[in-house]
Chain A
Amino acid sequence: MAKVPIAPDFIVERDKDKCISCQVCCRMCSNDAHVYDRERDQVDTLSGRCVGCHFCENFCPTGALTVRQNPSQIRQNANWNQQMLTWVAKQAETGGVLLTGMGCDQPFPIYWDHILLNASQVTNPSIDPLREPMELRTYIGRKPDRLELAGGSDQGKGARLKNKLEKQLVLQTPILFSAMSYGSISLNACKSLAWAASEFGTFYNTGEGGLHRDLYPYGANTIVQVASGRFGVHMEYLKAGAAIEIKIGQGAKPGIGGHLPGEKVDEEVSRTRMIPVGTDALSPAPHHDIYSIEDLRQLIYALKEATRYEKPVGVKISAVHNVAPIATGVVRAGADFVTIDGLRGGTGAAPTVIRNNVGIPIELAIAAVDSRLRQEGIRNHASVIAAGGFRTSGDIIKAIALGADAVYIGTAALVALGCHLCQRCYTGKCNWGIATQDPFLTKRLNPTIGARRLVNLLRAWSLEIKEMMGGMGINAIESLRGNREALRGVGLSDTELKILGIKPAGEAW
């Protein structure tokens, strides 16, 4: 059979009347989709090379470019769509596993869009956050079973706390930046996250890529990750962070390890990860020293010993079918926080079939884990951080009302840095200077601008969360945490409502 050419995903339309042949598009496209023809003094576009990152469209000074989905359509077929055909054609051509980046893009139900928030009317006054104090401060870590007070008068005046509190992470807003490794993203992207986290008073996570020496000064706002590949893990690294996270699974690819292609391993990445230049960084699917909760306990306590019990140690798992019992096991193993990464969590590289088909939505996982930990009476032993596909402050406040202590944002943070979700992170050709190590591309992300935009995003979302809390008559995020009466479901089945632990819209207290 003849070779079947694959139809381009995108069509780049060029308005000839507006195009001034300035060649900004030619210079900027890392996929060489725009080519200047000197003889005709015209720019031609090879749509087949376009990945849909919209960099050229954003940079064209006359607005002559439009990147559109290719309108070419196969005969309508509910079973076989264009994408399926493209996948089969690509695999028939290459014989390889299809790779992709970012989170699951399949039309699974998004429960956030089926959950509604409450507001105060008449019987309980709402609060105006611009006039009255609102508390978003969040503490991540193990809380005591009960508070014991000593001394003080009959009214409790002058009493002091007898409990010795475990070390807590203090967040000024219940939002953290997800684990994204240096290597998968550029140093400038890491710097943007680190600067923004330290300016706003929250945390970013190193992922499994180690900590670049330029980022040590931001250690107080860093969560260092220990993953199955143990890349870049050494004593100084563990000491540098404010907390340690053991990564068992990732929402985008539960059950499999990581893969950083050799092209992205340059001098600096190699030094930080402690691997040779140009070699693929493959982290194994399991931790080879963890095959049970007892083994996990050993690693948690080994890390706690190593850091003299000065730092909270958490465990990140992906949201899978048994997430609730696994989470209780993790908490009983001694984790100070559990991170749950849902179906729509992002990645720099994952097999498409795994990203699209493995895991469960984060909404159900948060509710299941929170309920199970409460049933077992160990909810206070660990904080729950949810991750995977938070798009707006509305999603975040719903996650907190479902029972999460805080949320990790990854994709949203990258979008703030310019990402247009073209899902080609694994190629290392990111035009926005985020998921690349190419020196021509990394300099496109100015961390001063990046950090400013991230701080703006955190500020805006925090203000919105305060507004919504005020509307509900709540003045501290602590009062909303796990408060599922603040939520109602629309268009959900009884089973889904039961798992989410919320009432259907229309049903009063």
Chain B
Amino acid sequence: MKRIVIHEEYCMGCRLCEIHCLVQHSKSKQIIKAYKGEFPKPLPRVLVEEQGYLSFALQCRHCEDAPCLEACMTGSLHRDAETGAVICHEDKCVGCWMCIMVCPLGVIARRREGKKAASKCDLCAGEKIPVCVQHCPNEAITFEER
């Protein structure tokens, strides 16, 4: 499947990936509106981890052997047959947060807006290339077949 690959040596820590991820998952999908008119603001599903000058954008790795899939009691977390991405079916999610507990990378969070549900990277379903990759100014994350 196509995955987001991290090239940490070129991540400059600008966090444009987070900003564009937030916009992509907002209601309006317009940057100024999403930031200034939507409350609570949606969470970005990618987070830039930083220590000293090392930084990288981390989002769900869509693991082959995903512990969150095992842990999900309602089956709301499922693997998309077409893209191979691990997706959360929001209607089924009951907010037990087991996925958050088992995720070894800490890339699942609680949604801030709307229904009580898990918030995680969906590889921007519907987009050819996830927006974080599209907007990374230094190609520090790329979308490749791995």
Contact = CB atoms under 8 A, between A and B. Distances in A.
A59 interface: yes
A24 B10 contact: no
Given A446-B138, A449-B139, A28 B53 contact: no
Contacts of B13: 27, 440
Interface stretch (B15-23, B59-67, B102-110): B15-23
B139 A59 contact: no
Nearest to B138: A446
Contacts of A27: 13-15
A24 B15 contact: yes
Given A22-B35, A61-B31, A448 B14 contact: no
Contacts of A440: 12-13, 53
Given A24-B15, A59-B14, A440-B53, A446 B140 contact: yes
Nearest to B33: A20
Contacts of B32: 17-18, 20, 62
Q: How large is the interface on A (under 10, 10 to 19, 20 to 34, 35 or more residues)?
A: 20 to 34
B14 A28 contact: yes
A444 B138 contact: yes
A109 interface: no
Given A27-B15, A444-B12, A59 B137 contact: yes
B41 to A, nearest CB: 10
B62 to A, nearest CB: 25
A271 interface: no
A22 B19 contact: yes
A95 interface: no
A24 B17 CA distance: 11
Interface string A5-37: 000000000000110111110011000000000
Interface of B: 7, 9-16, 19-20, 31-32, 35-36, 53, 135, 137-140
Given A24-B19, A28-B14, A439-B53, 7 more contacts: A20-B19, A23-B15, A27-B13, A28-B12, A433-B12, A443-B12, A446-B140
Interface of A: 17-18, 20-24, 27-28, 59, 61-62, 433, 439-440, 443-446, 448-449
7 contacts: A20-B35, A59-B16, A59-B137, A61-B135, A62-B31, A443-B10, A444-B138
